[in-house]
Structure 1
């Protein structure tokens, strides 16, 4: 079994816990309010804006033996540049104040997930950051396009209010193939363990953003 397949298998429980969160299931069925969608976009902005800085930090901390992975990080950076602006555009297309969203603060759950990502890179094994990549890109492929199409109909919002979801649902299909090829080149057992550990944590941390979305992120709900 390839390492990518092992990674998916070893994190299946946590992935299922994320996908079973009630508000995610409601979104897929078109049963959430416009305010829920806007709240999701606000939190998405607050973690997506850190994607490029996190990739840069990860690339800087990778050891010389993983120079090939640093090159891949450079490709990710080029691809991810400016995506947080797409989220702000969607917020504006929903009739909300773009500037107010940009000036707002993240929820506790979002702040903790981002903080854990930086901590993984700086204090732990920087390769563990790819556990976050697995969670965010894998979730996008599984949910984004389907949710966008359903919500556009149920919320009666324009197509340009879903540019972030639609682009990531389609774009991340290509990214997942790229990610799989990268993971299958990982041959160090410590690196593998770091990625699995981080992925398990990020499934819970990302899930907490959705678990607390309707209470304004004021507290962390119990993990599923």
Structure 2
């Protein structure tokens, strides 16, 4: 069994819990309101705009023995640059004001996830950041294109209100094989365990963004 297979197996329960979040199931059934989609985009902006800075921070902290992984991070950076602007484009297409959205504050759940990502890189093993990559890209592959098509039909929004979801659904399918190859090159057990540990945490943290989406990130027992 490869490490990538092991990673998926050891995080299966957390992944299933994320995919069972009520608002995600409602979105796939076309049962959400426009304000739910706008709220999702608003929080997506606040974590997507940190993707490139996080990749840069991770690359800077990697040891010399992982130079090959630093090179791969360079590829990721080139592909992820400017994606937060796509989210703002979608918000404008939904009728929101671009400047207001860009100047807004993240919800508690979003801020905690981003903070944990920086903390993983700075305090722990920077390789653990790839646990976040697994969670966000995996969720995107599983949900993005399906959700975009269903939400567009249900809400009657224009196609250009879904550039982030549609592009990431397709882009992250391409990234999946690349990510798998990187994980299978990790040969240090501490690096591997750092990825597994972080992935488990990020499944919960990312899920909290959706669990609390309708209440501005407040942790609500009934939303779990």
TM-score (norm 2): 0.98
Question: How much has 1:221 moved relative to structure 2?
Answer: 3.2
2:104 alignment partner in structure 1 = 104
- Give every structure 1 segment of 4 or more consecutive aligned residues whose post-TM-superposition deviation is greater than 4 Å: none
- Give yes or no for contact 1:208–1:221 (8 Å, CA) kept in 2: no
1:38 alignment partner in structure 2 = 38
1:23 alignment partner in structure 2 = 23
- Give yes or no for contact 2:18–2:204 (8 Å, CA) kept in 1: yes
1:172 alignment partner in structure 2 = 172
1:206 alignment partner in structure 2 = 206
Deviation digits for residues 24-65 of structure 1 (CA, Å, limit 9, x no counterpart): 000000000000000000000000000000000000000000
Unpaired runs of 5+ residues, structure 1, are none
Q: In structure 1, how many angstroms separate the alpha carbons of the residues matched to 2:93 and 2:208?
A: 26
- Classify the secondary structure of the residue corresponding to 1:187: coil
Deviation digits for residues 124-179 of structure 1 (CA, Å, limit 9, x no counterpart): 00000000000000000000000000000000000000000000000100001100
> In the alignment, is residue 84 of structure 1 matched against residue 84 of structure 2?
yes
Question: How much has 1:216 moved relative to structure 2?
Answer: 1.6
- Give yes or no for contact 1:90–1:160 (8 Å, CA) kept in 2: yes
Question: How much has 1:69 moved relative to structure 2?
Answer: 0.1
2:135 alignment partner in structure 1 = 135
> In the alignment, is residue 55 of structure 1 matched against residue 74 of structure 2?
no
Unpaired runs of 5+ residues, structure 2, are none
2:219 alignment partner in structure 1 = 220
Deviation digits for residues 40-96 of structure 1 (CA, Å, limit 9, x no counterpart): 000000000000000000000000000000000000000000000000000000011
- Classify the secondary structure of the residue corresponding to 1:184: helix
Deviation digits for residues 95-123 of structure 1 (CA, Å, limit 9, x no counterpart): 11111000000000000000000000000
Q: In structure 2, how many angstroms separate the alpha carbons of the residues matched to 1:216 and 1:80?
A: 26
Q: In structure 2, how many angstroms separate the alpha carbons of the residues matched to 1:56 and 1:46?
A: 17
Q: CA RMSD in A?
A: 0.8
> In the alignment, is residue 197 of structure 1 matched against residue 197 of structure 2?
yes
- Give yes or no for contact 2:108–2:216 (8 Å, CA) kept in 1: no
1:124 alignment partner in structure 2 = 124
TM-score (norm 1): 0.98
- Classify the secondary structure of the residue corresponding to 2:32: coil
Q: In structure 2, how many angstroms separate the alpha carbons of the residues matched to 1:27 and 1:97?
A: 23
Aligned residues: 223
Q: In structure 2, how many angstroms separate the alpha carbons of the residues matched to 1:221 and 1:137?
A: 26
